[in-house]
Amino acid sequence: MRVLVVGGAGYIGSHAVRELAKEGNDVVVLDALYTGHRKAVDPKAKFYQGDIENTFLVSKILRDEKIDAVMHFAAYSLVPESVKKPLKYYDNNVTGMISLLKAMNDAQVKYLIFSSSAATYGIPKKLPITEDTPLDPINPYGETKVMMEMIMHWADKADGIKSIALRYFNVAGASSDGKIGEDHHPETHLIPNILRSAISGDGKFTIFGDDYNTKDGTNVRDYVQVEDLIDAHILALKHLMQTNKSDVFNLGTAHGYSNLEILKSAKKVTGIDIPYTMGPRRGGDPDSLVADSTKARSVLSWKPKHENVDTVIATAWKWHKNHPNGYADI
């Protein structure tokens, strides 16, 4: 297969590029490098620097490279930033999706795998969260993902573009060989921040709130290892091309870990007594978010290898320990 990975220089996209190439697919990457890293892109992939909103460019790449399917990872994803700069998010995410679908329609490329988010559910009334949980986002980031799914729905009905939306829970970890991993500026994710605190010992790592309605008062989240997540993407693409039917799947392990449990696991994995600060709530954080992943496991035969978060953190540690400054160390 010839697959275009849009956003293939980002954290999750770069893992997709490697796994797709490893399985023998021809991979083409389009990334504007606004937040992605050129060094994260597998050398086996062909690289174009460009913006998803450039419909003409995307369409030309789809035709020139004879692309069979697209994986779309090119969305901004920082919730607090989306609240401060919503137009930046609607522009890049929603306008970007419209542009991509127009280009796909123009080039007659009919398959799309899309990274959606558990943020589409907002604050769910029941746990675990199934795919039928009502979509009710509480911030612009989550809203953009709902809008993108809605637009995909109509592009299927009218134009026959078949797509699978994968609603991610908390993606974590790094490639098992330690060669690529997470490197965001700013870094807002829990595990990289804990591990950086382990390395620096500066105690600047903060947990935001210990008065949530959870087992120990800190937020509970569902961590899915990034290579497991990509396995699901490849399974989803095969499923989509076999069934020719659009669908949506949650991607989480269905195990919930509190922030303090993650910290404890990180201490065990690293052997370091990691300093941290207990801060107040930062607003907009639901108590608990845990996936019901039955559908992905049964329909896609997805079997995440990292069901215990210790092994997720172990892959992240391998990356951060050897690249304390991320891609600047490569």
Q: What are φ and ψ of residue 165, in 5° steps?
A: -95, 125
Q: Which of 26, 68, 91, 131 binds its own copies (CB under 8 A)?
A: 91
136 belongs to the binding site for its own copies (CB under 8 A): no
278 belongs to the binding site for its own copies (CB under 8 A): no
51 belongs to the binding site for its own copies (CB under 8 A): no
Using H for helix, E for strand and C for coil, what is the string for 219-287?
A: CEECEEEHHHHHHHHHHHHHHHHHHCCCEEEEECCCCCEEHHHHHHHHHHHHCCCCCCEEECCCCCCCC
140 belongs to the binding site for its own copies (CB under 8 A): yes
**DSSP-assigned letter for residue 95:** I
* Active-site residue, 276 included: no
Q: Which of 35, 95, 130, 176 binds its own copies (CB under 8 A)?
A: 95
Structure tokens at 76: 């901004």
Q: How far apart are CA 161 and CA 292, in angstroms?
A: 27
- Residue 150 or 330: the one with the smaller Cβ distance to its own copies is 150
Work out the number of other CB atoms within 10 angstroms of the CB of residue 179.
Answer: 17
61 belongs to the binding site for its own copies (CB under 8 A): no
154 belongs to the binding site for its own copies (CB under 8 A): yes
Question: Treating both helix axes as pointing N-terminal to C-terminal, what angle do 309-322 and 259-270 enclose, rounded to 10 degrees?
Answer: 60
Torsion angle, alpha carbons of 100, 103, 109, 112, to 10: 10
Single out the catalytic residue among 76, 89, 141, 168.
141
149 belongs to the binding site for its own copies (CB under 8 A): no
| Residues near its own copies (CB under 8 A), total | 23
Q: Which of 50, 86, 217, 286 binds its own copies (CB under 8 A)?
A: 86
78 belongs to the binding site for its own copies (CB under 8 A): no
Residues involved in catalysis: 141
Binding site for its own copies (CB under 8 A): 83-87, 90-91, 94-95, 98, 101-102, 105, 140, 143, 147, 150-151, 154-155, 157-159
